[in-house]
Amino acid sequence: MEQPALLTILRTETIYRFRLELPESSSQAGQEYIIDLTPEIRERLRRTLQSVAQYMQTLAQADVKRQTMKLGVVNDSLLTLGRFLFDQLLPSQMQDALRRLDNALIIETNTPEIPWELLFEGNAKSGRFLCQHLSIGRQVSGREEVRHSVADRATRKVGRRETQGLTVMFLVNPGSDRPVAEEEVATLCTTLPESVSRIILYRQQANQLEIKMRVGADSPHVLHYAGPVPLKVGEEHVLALGGSSRLDSAAIEQLFQSLPRRPLVFLSYHEDERQGRNGSGAASQQEREDSMERLANNLLVSGAGAVLAMRWPVNTQREREFAALFYQEVADGVALGEAVRRARMSMVQHRPDDTSWMSFVLYGDPMLRLVTASVSSKERSGELRFEPFDDNHLIPPIIPSSNTLERRFLQEVLGLALMEARRMHKDYLGTPHLFIALTKLDGGCTQDALRSLGFSPKQVRDVIRLALGNGKATSDTPILPTRRCKEILQTAEQNALESGSTTIDERAIAQAVLSEGDGVTHELLTKLGINPAQLIELVLTSNARALLELVPSISANPADASIELPVGISPDVVVKGGNSVLERLGRDLTRQANLKQLTPLIGREKELRLLMQTLMLKDRNNPVLIGDSGVGKTTIVGGLAQRIIDGKVPVELRGKRLIELSASSLVAGTKYRGEFEERLLKVLEEAESAGNIILFIDEMHLLIGTGRAADGSIDAAGILKPALAGGRLRCIGATTPQEYRLIEKDAAMERRLRPVMIEEPTAEEALTILTGMRDLYEQHHNVSITSEALQAAVHLSVQYLPNLRLPDKACSVLDEACSQARIFSMEDAAGAVEGTKQGDDGEDEELNEMPAINASMIAEVISHRTGIPVRAPGREERDRLLNLASRLKSRVVGQDEAISRVTQAIQVARAGLKQRNRPAGVFLFLGPTGVGKTELARALAAEVFGSDEHLIRIDMSEYMEKHAVSRMVGAPPGYIGHDQEGQLTGKLRRRPHCVVLLDELEKAHPEVFDLFLQVFDAGRLTDAQGHTVDAQHAIWIMTSNVGTDMLGRSMPSGFRAGVKGTAEEMQRERLLERLRQTFRPEFLNRVDEVVIFHPLGQEQARAITRLQMNELGARLLEQGLTLHAEDSAIDLLCKEGFSQTQGARPLRRAIERLLTVPLSLRILLANIPEHGEVHVKAVDSQLEIDIREPGQVVEEQLEEDVGAEVDAI
């Protein structure tokens, strides 16, 4: 076998040394290059390493699309990173030498933070990974330097004591109480090879005396320190042991000298939670890494053979995986540096997106071997074979796949099951332990299936534990699998083979466990009301939630069985019970984020960054999100939970749990005094003891006064204050600006919180949010959503739902449109079933088409909510606005000029050219009574907003007193009716799109006019309770009779509106002068148009009479009668009901008196023919009413018609 070359990379404080040694058979000569670390090179090196770290972090983000880092390359893979390291970190002369190298390459280095394993030369097709073996290690300054020759490496083995078996001494929780460490060590021990001996010392046992006593024939090769490592910046680093003993440098050296060999020290990194609470855990990540390095150096100086440490915390499952791989290699006689490399690369191969492998660093001699190489190790030693690289792999497979690797998931489940059996003091491993292990897999299909059926996985585990009870086995008792457990594992392997999978995954194991018909697990689940067959179906199907059916209710009298539920545990404990108060009362947002059950956060980077910044403060680190309802406060908190799950948060927030707590859940069920306080204290104690919980309290203002009795006892806020003040608990609150005032009244509570304002997003930002959520709505409703629908949802909700906030109102409108379209689609499909049964394939395809959501559907939803005939922006809407004047003229007669002025102002507003934030129109109608001012306002409401109901009429004669203004906006606090809304603000809040008619304006008190200054200028009105009412979308019309006496005197009878001339202009000027004398200039300047209504003439009176007769005819038509009115009748009614002074108002009374009343008597007394005709004409200043059969002609009419024909002949 060809000998490899050796590349030594050594960095000191002043130089970077690169030394390439070639075997004797090589024709090339070795080379050595030394680079002085000048400030410029140091800065370049720092930037390069920072880019490498950023690149590795990007590769770890498996949930987002990979992005190319700025590394000067175009490809995005570990191959790219290796090529970048080759180009940027190696001297150019060294690069040329390595390109000519044909031998395999071994690298020795004291810079393990750089992933030299990935060193790559060339391109993707013809390139190669240079590094075949990599020993990772650091030397302590002042100690023996790393030797760089092959001969030196051989001489280092002389005199070293090597034995056949590896012995590991686990020091579990020395000087601390961390139960999870005990469980992790117990699980790790089950995965170690049988050749590895284990010595486990728990807590107080892990003291210096006990360690010395255990030293003998099985003297440990490894001291595995499994507990919180005390890292204190700036202090001498010591190790805490059991019995309150702490080992300083001298004591550690004395301990190591008493051991027959220099051991390897394995340091797990677990930050002490108590340090984090008293403030000592506030060091930066770099300071912690430096502290770990100094601790490792102290151990090496004191006599340790090597130190394997973690530079930062990683997932306990990753730590356990690395330790098992590392001990396997060391037990086979592999050198420590090579064992670290193989374990790291195995993790990279099987989890390319996980960078946990970079945390494990070896300090000391990388060529140190703890035991003699075993036969199996020698057989598999030698060159590692690299497979060809292609685009389907991030890195070439370094370790060939084997049965052990295919069973890795099974080993993980067995480890959790063994941990559970040991926890319950059992000496056997059964199927209930396997099922409990499956329910512990976060995000697994077993957890998802249980939640789909309405059961909590944790509480199901608790019930099974209580049903099984605790055994009497000790920690040293071996745990053996039962016969049924072995059969279940064989069945799981068979299930995996039948499904075509190469791995015994969770589905295969769960199917095997749940399929046993007479097992303990099957009986327990049945007792709880869970159908095992249904659970299997949910586990095996990917869309388990779509198959969810109603869960059978739990029987009050369960069937007799051999296993009974524990005393005191009701069958519904899995839903309502549990020992954890937070589990019962709270909602774990991080868990839901892990299961992708939260609404995704799109945008809001500034607010999210400010939220994380506040949580990381030393003092007042309790943010309270303040914003109107619907702006996305809860979604932002959910986005933080998702960031925590993804690891995209600062180190201080990693591993935290966000739990939502509501005031209603705290109060519910508390009947007696003290129950509420006890429940809240338990919640706070549980959150503080966990150390990694951040509470989220929505509607935080409800805490003020909650739980307080009439005798003035403490409320929820009072109980929460000490925890917030002491820094023992971090909390996020959410409330609205109005309700935050309740918190401000409590100065002590307000001082402990830090406000974070959440503003309403703009229309563009809301459109971006809806675009990001389009897929969620399409998948939920099985529809397709067009881009026009998204734009319409935003713009129409902004225009017609001003009292609600983006993005909630736009999302709500879109959601309702999708639901409505889906229902209509189902109804259409049901109506077309007969056609499809006849075998028409085309129609069948149409039934399967998903409905498409367009802008008109959004407009229809808005119309249903507001009662306004909303139309999607298009030609139809533009034509309706262009024809507005003609439709108004058909209802209001004789005021063409007034209609033209009003129509022009509304068209400008609807075209989007009006001044921002002002109302749609502000008009002042001047004219005598009965000329159509109120009728035009009513017609505007019907034509613009759809019906007369959108007219708000305020009689200003009711506001003649100064204090009457409070009736419009509500009485101030302390006065009668202060809790009632104002007459104007209340109606305007419910109908923001309307016509507001202020009738007879001049009769109100002058100070009432000041109320409308802000309305006409800024488009808003504030009531007595501080609520702002939107007035931008309303049309404001004020009517007045000021100066109309001049119109009556100056115009002769029969004046026709619209006549131009100097007299009319002079008349208008005199009228406006009188107006300026009555109203103040600042009030008149806010009016868009002063519209003058001229007195009506006889022609206009006849037209109005015709309109009112048509209205009466429409009412008669509903009774089955047709009205025919002759011109003589119209002239008589006009003569009796119209006058120049009173206008057209008396016309309605004249029609009522002369026609409606007599006609109603005739209808009630006579036998009216079906579909009869009512003929009305004037005879001797009286109306004659004749009701005839359809088509009947009277004799007089017949004689007149005959006479007319004779004359014509």
**CA 287 distance to own-chain centroid:** 34
Region label for 843, one of left (φ > 0), alpha (ψ between -120 and 50) or beta (otherwise)? alpha
The span from the CA of 395 to the CA of 327, in Å, is 24
Residues in CB range of 454: below 8 A, 6 or more apart: 551, 575
549-to-281, 552, 556, 576, 819 alpha-carbon distances in Å: 49, 9, 21, 20, 21
Alpha helices in 832-974 (DSSP H): 833-837, 841-848, 855-866, 875-882, 884-889, 896-910, 933-945, 966-969
Taking every pair of Cα atoms in the chain, the longest distance, rounded to a whole number of angstroms, is: 150
CATH number, domain containing residue 663 = 3.40.50.300
Last residue of a domain, one of 478, 509, 541: 541
| Phi, psi angles (nearest 5°) of residue 660 | -85, 135
Residue 949 lies in a domain: yes
Tell me the DSSP string of 1179-1203: ETTEEEEEEE-TT---HHHHHHHHH
Task: Kindly state whether residues 444 and 500 are assigned to the same domain.
Answer: yes
Question: Tokens standing for 442?
Answer: 């976060």
Residue 913 lies in a domain: yes
Task: Kindly state whether residues 359 and 427 are assigned to the same domain.
Answer: no
SS3 label, residue 911 = coil
Task: Kindly state whether residues 782 and 679 are assigned to the same domain.
Answer: no
For the beta carbon of residue 546, count every other beta carbon within 10 angstroms: 8
For the beta carbon of residue 874, count every other beta carbon within 10 angstroms: 12
The span from the CA of 437 to the CA of 419, in Å, is 9
For the beta carbon of residue 1004, count every other beta carbon within 10 angstroms: 22
Burial per residue of 962-982, b for 16 or more beta-carbon CB atoms within 10 angstroms, e otherwise: eeebbbbbbbeeeeeeeeebb
Return the closest-CA partner of residue 132 out of 90, 156, 102, 110. 102
CATH number, domain containing residue 808 = 1.10.8.60
Question: Tokens standing for 676?
Answer: 């509420």
For the beta carbon of residue 669, count every other beta carbon within 10 angstroms: 11
Residue 903's pLDDT is 86
* Cis upstream peptide for 1146 (omega within 30°): no
Neighbour-count burial of 112, counting CB atoms closer than 10 A to its CB (0-12 exposed, 13-18 middle, 19+ buried): buried
The span from the CA of 877 to the CA of 939, in Å, is 18
SS3 label, residue 257 = helix
Residue 839 lies in a domain: no
Return the closest-CA partner of residue 299 out of 341, 262, 337. 262
Residue whose tokens read 């970079």: 358
Instruction: Give the model confidence (pLDDT) of 90-118 as tens digits.
Output: 777 778 778 777 776 777 776 766 777 66
| Phi, psi angles (nearest 5°) of residue 275 | -65, -40
Residue 160 lies in a domain: no
Neighbour-count burial of 886, counting CB atoms closer than 10 A to its CB (0-12 exposed, 13-18 middle, 19+ buried): exposed
Residue 636's pLDDT is 92
Residue 678 lies in a domain: yes
| Phi, psi angles (nearest 5°) of residue 954 | -115, 120
Task: Kindly state whether residues 981 and 924 are assigned to the same domain.
Answer: yes
Task: Kindly state whether residues 1142 and 1164 are assigned to the same domain.
Answer: yes
Task: Kindly state whether residues 509 and 603 are assigned to the same domain.
Answer: no
Task: Kindly state whether residues 989 and 1038 are assigned to the same domain.
Answer: yes
Task: Kindly state whether residues 1088 and 1103 are assigned to the same domain.
Answer: no
Question: Tokens standing for 6?
Answer: 């050796």
Question: Tokens standing for 954?
Answer: 């305020």
Residue 401's pLDDT is 32
Residues in CB range of 26: below 8 A, 6 or more apart: 5, 103
Return the closest-CA partner of residue 296 out of 264, 321, 333. 264
Task: Kindly state whether residues 438 and 303 are assigned to the same domain.
Answer: no
Residue 1019 lies in domain: 875-1047+1066-1092
SS3 label, residue 1174 = strand
Tell me the DSSP string of 269-283: ----HHHHHHTTT--
SS3 label, residue 194 = coil
The span from the CA of 318 to the CA of 354, in Å, is 9
Residues in CB range of 455: below 8 A, 6 or more apart: 528, 530, 574, 575
Residue 161's pLDDT is 39
| Three state DSSP letters for 643-669 | HHHHCCCCHHHCCCEEEEECHHHHHCC
Asked whether 133 and 5 are in contact (CB, 8 A), the reply is no
Handedness of CA 972, 978, 981, 982 (dihedral sign): negative
For the beta carbon of residue 536, count every other beta carbon within 10 angstroms: 18
DSSP structure class, residue 1021: E
Asked whether 1072 and 1091 are in contact (CB, 8 A), the reply is no
Provide the number of structural domains found in the chain.
7
Residue 1080's DSSP bridge partners are none
Task: Kindly state whether residues 684 and 608 are assigned to the same domain.
Answer: yes
645-to-181, 450, 456, 642 alpha-carbon distances in Å: 22, 21, 20, 5
| Cα-based torsion angle of the residue sequence 1051, 1056, 1057, 1063 in order, rounded to the nearest 10 degrees | -40
Task: Kindly state whether residues 1118 and 1080 are assigned to the same domain.
Answer: no
Last residue of a domain, one of 541, 573, 602: 541
Asked whether 432 and 524 are in contact (CB, 8 A), the reply is yes
Alpha helices in 1119-1174 (DSSP H): 1127-1137, 1145-1151, 1157-1165
Return the closest-CA partner of residue 895 out of 873, 863, 927. 927
Residue 856 lies in a domain: no
The span from the CA of 600 to the CA of 577, in Å, is 30
Residue 54's pLDDT is 64
SS3 label, residue 624 = strand
Asked whether 60 and 647 are in contact (CB, 8 A), the reply is yes
Residue whose tokens read 């023996």: 144
Q: Could you say which residues of the chain have pLDDT below 50?
A: 1, 60-76, 132-163, 234, 272-282, 374-405, 542-578, 710, 841, 843-844, 846-847, 1050-1060, 1202, 1206, 1209
Last residue of a domain, one of 364, 391, 419: 364
Question: Tokens standing for 728?
Answer: 């023992």
Q: What is the pTM of this model?
A: 0.48
Residue 216's pLDDT is 57
Coarse DSSP helix, strand, coil percentages of the chain, rounded to the nearest 5 percent:
50, 15, 40
Residues across the chain = 1209
Residue 257 lies in a domain: yes
Task: Kindly state whether residues 975 and 1028 are assigned to the same domain.
Answer: yes
Alpha helices in 114-264 (DSSP H): 150-155, 179-191, 208-214, 249-257
Residue 1179 lies in a domain: yes
The span from the CA of 649 to the CA of 604, in Å, is 15
